[in-house]
Amino acid sequence: MEFKSSQILSKLATSDQHAENSPYFDGWKAYDNDPFHPTQNPHGVIQMGLAENQLSFDLIEEWIKKNPVASICTREGVDAFKDIAIFQDYHGLPEFRKAVAKFMGKVRGRRVTFDPDRVVMAGGATGANELIMFCLADPGDAFLVPSPYYPAFDRDLSWRTGVKLLPVACESSNNFQITLQALEEAYKNAQKANIKVKGLIMANPSNPLGTTMDKDTLKSLVTFINEKKIHLVCDEIYAATIFRAPNFISISEIIEEVECNRDLIHIVYSLSKDMGLPGFRVGIVYSYNDTVVNCGRKMSSFGLVSSQTQYLLASMLSDEEFIEMFLKESSKRLGNRHKIFTRGLVEGGIKCLESNAGLFCWMDLRPLLKETTFEGEMELWRVIINDVKLNVSPGSSFHCDEPGWFRVCFANMDDETMQIALRRIRTFVGERKEMDAQVNNKRWKKTLRLSFSSRMYYETSLSPHMIPSISTSSFTTCSCDLNIYLKVII
Amino acid sequence: MAIEIETPSVGLSKVAVSETHGEDSPYFAGWKAYDENPYNEAYNPSGVIQMGLAENQVSFDLLEEYLEKHSEATNWGNTSCCFRENALFQDYHGLKSFRKAMASFMEQIRGGRAKFNPERIVITAGATAANELLTFILADPGDALLIPTPYYPGFDRDLRWRTGVRIVPINCDSSNNFEITPEALEAAYNEAESMNIKVRGVLITNPSNPLGSTIKRSILEEILEFVTRKNIHLISDEIYSGSAFSCTEFVSISEVLEARGYQDAERVHVVYSLSKDLGLPGFRVGTIYSYNDKVVTTARRMSSFTLISSQTQQLLASMLSDVEFTQNYIKNNRERLRKRYEMIVDGLKKAGIKSLKGNAGLFCWMNLSPLLEEPTKENELALWKSILHEVKLNISPGLSCHCSEPGWFRVCFANMSEQTLEVALRRIHDFMNKRECMKTIV
């Protein structure tokens, strides 16, 4: 039934910038085809590519049960139904904005306060990041972004906006910290290539690193953008996932200490990670620039938060006692989970970048690479997906400059599943090292399939059904419609 | 009409400093006047009555009744896993139960004359987002969509602002009740061509805003024939489909397609929302239904920027899959809107004002051109201002809808109580009387 639809759609629609045609979505395919379940499918693929915070739902559920009036669908709350259902003002419910501003302040230890009138809604942080780009840059303009970075930035910041991303590589030699030198060089190169740099965007705490920036680094970034007269967008979506020292320092605190043009400073936030509510699509743009607030607010019409959700969260977030308890407890649980997980990795011979935040670890698997190349990284990744049956995210999908680093999520599963994952990893590492020793000095061909069976990685007895059905050579680009690539790295 | 290119302030984008968001238009004074002096039956009986807001407030009691009876089903109830699963659900496919319920609801609105496949439903945060998203997919910056006039003023922003796409009007006039003609379609296409602008599609709103009338089947067929011949797209915004006063009066493009075995369907895309029919604009529930697989796939990916809250999807999945509720709601809603429409048209008639014969929507398209000394833009604006400041009614002037003839105004009737509507009609009556008297004196 072709009516030459490929010629009939826009360039945007026919481009690959939605980024889903990458081979990396095969990890998701493997998971979707064979998802782990403790009793029904104990040998399935464990999902470790999904940065979700599932550790503290019980606290929220309890609050909801205790506060039926916060829902407009309960008998207790239905009186508010009509007013809320017709409320589509893009300013948002005043009580929602107030509650969000207060919550943001609390997450930063009340060291700064946020103005509710600067809170602009968007469709999740996905929508917020795109919105701020539309406000700050024209098609063809560029934003510097320290790498490794969240892969969906390629789609969120560039797809419909036409903005270019210029990665500024960070190296493991200094724990992937951004340096002024790297920024200056990237800026200079862009100028030479006649590319107009409009700003710098970064996530702090970092995804995938799980680290926060120290005060000096943040100050130097502010000085840098101020001097170049370019914007600074700080995606602080993981602000409340800090679980140990050093404490989180927000850009909002830095600008109180450093002289700068505040019109250049913008924060992106969301409740998807800190509160574990990605389904509710609560994205926030907080800008210190009045024009951006005004324009952004009008633009938010394209992605407002459901008034039903605004109403519920306004109530929840302004329950100071609950929030105080939640933030403390959530941080504690994340810290515990991180501690147990990293300890388990170390016992298995795997080191991670030292981190203090986030829902993931940045694993150093360079010792396990056959070749210190990205092909080597892909080979290792295929083995981990197909044989170890763990969906982890390879560093190259984060535009990491050095092969061998992998992001592994730890907050989207229960304790038992985590232990199983750790056991599989330990077994795999052991086998891999043994194999290395056996084939000393032998040169491995890239196309040669690793010879040990997947049976090695299972905890229980074997069965013919455990041989994985997906061969490692079948990484063809699939045209089926799955939002799995991006789930690899969300 | 083009996006203005100015020196950006503090290095913002051209989009940020353009005026294509449309909010600097003089008509915003109407909103300001209302905000500063809103009518209230008890506290401010001489305040401005808001008649510029196309909201459906006539059937809330039916929704509230449903919620009171089904609070367990619509809430997360006592099952803790339900809340958790729901709060985590961010899949851009949308909740399957929600899509199924929407498909069923859309079928019921069309009296079962068209079938909808839940797999073709793409979710967006409101029709605002749906229309923008489709424009991003179907047209490149600088290309055009043809839209019949008068049209919803929000299209100027929704379809053009961030997309860089243009609107070329298909001029319709009162000589034939503003119906779209093949000549008008051709003329619009040729106008675009003469400006070297590539036309990518036609966008119709059916039932029409601001006309308040449905498009005849024969005209839908002509439009379909036109877009097929030109090999362009057809977007049918059917946001008011459940607000047609009777089920049989509304013919959807989907029925036309089904009747002809879906021939040429891949160029057709339907936009829908629950903001008007169910009166839930705050919930941001929009959908795109496309007969084109590539459009569905791409739209789905793009909907990542504008998904519907899973909490809201869950609520509506329950509500809309209750067929007894939906059938009762659709029937009663239509009836109540029809009654309101008759009330306002009668009132206007008594005041000596004619309006276009309507059969759908939340508003009526009234003709005040006899009040203009000369049919000019300035005179319409002046008349609008005096209605706003003297009569204290905020109504929408035809020029804000790009109507080619001055003197037409859109008046909403479903966003207020009957009592308030009566007050408004009395004020109009008095205003018209005064003008009659002034005429005889002069």
For the stretch A279-320, pLDDT in tens is: 999 999 999 999 999 999 999 999 999 999 999 999 999 999
B232/A309 touch (CB, cutoff 8 Å), yes or no: no
Q: Do domains A21-55+330-429 and A57-323 have the same CATH topology?
A: no
Q: Is B237 a catalytic residue?
A: yes
The arithmetic mean of pLDDT across residues A337-351, rounded, is 96
Structure-block tokens of residue A183:
């920024």
Of chain B, the percentage scoring pLDDT greater than 70 comes to 95
pLDDT for position B442: 57
Q: Which range has the worst mean pLDDT, A19-23, A72-76, B56-60, B207-211?
A: A19-23
Contact list, A86 vs chain B (CB under 8 Å): 55, 57, 279-282
Of B314, B321, B320, give the one whose Cα is nearest residue B95.
B314
A84/B282 touch (CB, cutoff 8 Å), yes or no: yes
Question: B292 at the A interface (CB within 8 A)?
Answer: yes
CB contact at 8 A, B360 and B214 = yes
Cβ under 8 Å to A: B residues 153-172: 157-158, 161-162
pLDDT for position A238: 98
Confidence of residue A18 (pLDDT cuts 50, 70, 90): confident
CA distance to partner chain B, nearest, from residue A134 (Å): 7
DSSP, collapsed to helix, strand or coil, labels residue A22 as coil
Catalytic residue among A26, A141, A235, A387: A235
Structure-block tokens of residue B124:
């967006």
Other C-beta atoms lying within 10 Å of the C-beta of residue A258:
16
Specify the DSSP class assigned to residue A385: I
CA distance to partner chain B, nearest, from residue A94 (Å): 14
pLDDT: which is higher, B61 or B3? B61
Closest chain B CA to residue A302: B129
pLDDT for position A40: 94
Question: B300 at the A interface (CB within 8 A)?
Answer: yes
Structure-block tokens of residue A319:
């329950």
- Burial degree of B441 (CB within 10 A; 0-12, 13-18, 19+): exposed
CA distance to partner chain B, nearest, from residue A365 (Å): 30
Other C-beta atoms lying within 10 Å of the C-beta of residue B59:
20
The residues pairing with A362 across neighbouring beta strands, listed in sequence order, are A407
pLDDT for position B137: 96
Confidence of residue A12 (pLDDT cuts 50, 70, 90): confident
Question: A307 at the B interface (CB within 8 A)?
Answer: yes
B84/A87 touch (CB, cutoff 8 Å), yes or no: no
Question: A397 at the B interface (CB within 8 A)?
Answer: no
Who's near B187: CB < 8 A, 6+ residues apart?
B170, B171
pLDDT for position B2: 47
pLDDT for position A75: 86
Catalytic residue among A230, A237, A249, A323: A237
B80/A280 touch (CB, cutoff 8 Å), yes or no: no
Based on its alpha-carbon atoms, the radius of gyration of chain A, rounded to whole angstroms, reads: 23
Closest to A263 (Cβ–Cβ): which among B10, B68, B309?
B10
What count of Cα atoms within 13 Å lies in the side-chain half-sphere of residue B121? 26
Mean pLDDT of chain A, nearest integer: 88
Question: A263 at the B interface (CB within 8 A)?
Answer: yes
A4/B231 touch (CB, cutoff 8 Å), yes or no: yes
A483/B74 touch (CB, cutoff 8 Å), yes or no: no
CB contact at 8 A, A93 and A311 = yes
B282/A86 touch (CB, cutoff 8 Å), yes or no: yes
A57/B15 touch (CB, cutoff 8 Å), yes or no: no
pLDDT for position A449: 43
CB contact at 8 A, B440 and B408 = no
pLDDT at A452 over 70: no
Catalytic residue among B152, B240, B272, B329: B152
pLDDT at B23 over 80: no
pLDDT for position B31: 85
CB contact at 8 A, B76 and B86 = yes
The residues pairing with B290 across neighbouring beta strands, listed in sequence order, are B269
pLDDT at B161 over 70: yes
d(CA A27, CA A19): 15
pLDDT for position A388: 94
Q: Which range has the worst mean pLDDT, A79-93, A197-211, B71-85, B390-404?
A: B71-85
Q: Distance of CA B174 to CAs A51, A177, A285, Å? A: 58, 67, 45
Cβ under 8 Å to A: B residues 99-118: none
Specify the DSSP class assigned to residue A135: H
Question: A308 at the B interface (CB within 8 A)?
Answer: yes
pLDDT for position B75: 65
d(CA A308, CA A73): 9
pLDDT for position B439: 72
Question: B90 at the A interface (CB within 8 A)?
Answer: yes
Side chain identity, residue B417:
S
Closest chain B CA to residue A141: B13
Cβ under 8 Å to B: A residues 166-205: 198
Closest to A73 (Cβ–Cβ): which among B75, B126, B297?
B75
pLDDT for position B76: 64
Q: Which range has the worst mean pLDDT, A72-81, A444-453, B253-262?
A: A444-453
What pTM was estimated for this model as a whole?
0.91
Specify the DSSP class assigned to residue B16: H
pLDDT for position A21: 64
For the stretch B194-234, pLDDT in tens is: 999 999 999 999 999 999 999 999 999 999 999 999 999 99
pLDDT for position B440: 72
Question: A5 at the B interface (CB within 8 A)?
Answer: yes
Catalytic residue among A31, A150, A458, A485: A150
**Of the CATH numbers 3.40.50.720, 3.40.630.10, 3.40.50.300, 3.40.640.10, which one belongs to the domain with range A57-323?**
3.40.640.10
Question: B60 at the A interface (CB within 8 A)?
Answer: yes
d(CA B287, CA A85): 18
The arithmetic mean of pLDDT across residues B339-361, rounded, is 97
Of chain A, the percentage scoring pLDDT greater than 90 comes to 80
Question: B25 at the A interface (CB within 8 A)?
Answer: no
CB contact at 8 A, A327 and A273 = no
Who's near A445: CB < 8 A, 6+ residues apart?
none
Q: Which phi and psi (to 5°) does residue B98 adopt?
A: -70, -45
Closest to A278 (Cβ–Cβ): which among B17, B90, B126?
B90
pLDDT: which is higher, B270 or B248? B270
Contact list, B298 vs chain A (CB under 8 Å): 9, 13, 18
Of A174, A202, A229, A100, give the one whose Cα is nearest residue A353.
A174
Question: B438 at the A interface (CB within 8 A)?
Answer: no
Closest to A127 (Cβ–Cβ): which among B132, B283, B305?
B305
Measured over the CA atoms of residue B14, residue B15, residue B19 and residue B23, the dihedral's sign is: negative
Probe site for chain A from B13, B76, B417 (most A CB atoms < 10 A)? B13
Q: Is B329 a catalytic residue?
A: no
pLDDT at A414 over 80: yes
Size of interface A-B (CB pairs under 8 A): 255
B13/A136 touch (CB, cutoff 8 Å), yes or no: yes
pLDDT: which is higher, A452 or A386? A386
Token pair 């290792």 is found at A380
pLDDT for position A26: 74
pLDDT: which is higher, A137 or B71? A137
pLDDT for position A467: 31
Structure-block tokens of residue B301:
């990916």
pLDDT for position B269: 98
Confidence of residue B185 (pLDDT cuts 50, 70, 90): very high
d(CA A261, CA A66): 45
Cβ under 8 Å to B: A residues 107-126: 123-124, 126
Q: Show me where the domains of chain A are located.
A: 21-55+330-429, 57-323, 434-489
Give me the sheet containing A405-409, strands edge to edge. A351-352, A360-364, A405-409, A393-394
Question: B396 at the A interface (CB within 8 A)?
Answer: no
Structure-block tokens of residue B403:
């109507």
Q: Is A150 a catalytic residue?
A: yes
Confidence of residue B149 (pLDDT cuts 50, 70, 90): very high
Question: B28 at the A interface (CB within 8 A)?
Answer: no
Q: Which range has the worst mean pLDDT, A456-470, B146-160, B200-214, B315-329?
A: A456-470
Closest chain B CA to residue A83: B282
Side chain identity, residue A200:
L
pLDDT for position A46: 96
pLDDT for position A401: 95
pLDDT at B181 over 60: yes
The arithmetic mean of pLDDT across residues B325-350, rounded, is 97
pLDDT for position B121: 98
Pairing label, strands A231-235, A197-203: parallel
d(CA A130, CA A153): 9
Of A154, A177, A202, give the one whose Cα is nearest residue A24.
A154
pLDDT at B255 over 70: yes
Cβ under 8 Å to A: B residues 236-265: 264-265
d(CA A421, CA B302): 34
Closest to A306 (Cβ–Cβ): which among B129, B233, B283?
B283
Measure the N-to-C terminal CA separation of chain B; round to a whole number of Å.
Answer: 41
Confidence of residue B82 (pLDDT cuts 50, 70, 90): confident
pLDDT for position B9: 47
Q: Is B219 a catalytic residue?
A: no
Q: Which phi and psi (to 5°) does residue A46 adopt?
A: -90, 130
Contact list, A139 vs chain B (CB under 8 Å): 141
Other C-beta atoms lying within 10 Å of the C-beta of residue B215:
24
The arithmetic mean of pLDDT across residues A238-254, rounded, is 97
B12/A295 touch (CB, cutoff 8 Å), yes or no: yes
B88/A52 touch (CB, cutoff 8 Å), yes or no: yes
The arithmetic mean of pLDDT across residues A430-448, rounded, is 67
d(CA A353, CA A362): 6
d(CA B322, CA B62): 13
Token pair 């308890």 is found at A325
For domain A21-55+330-429, say whether CATH 3.90.1150.10 is its number. yes
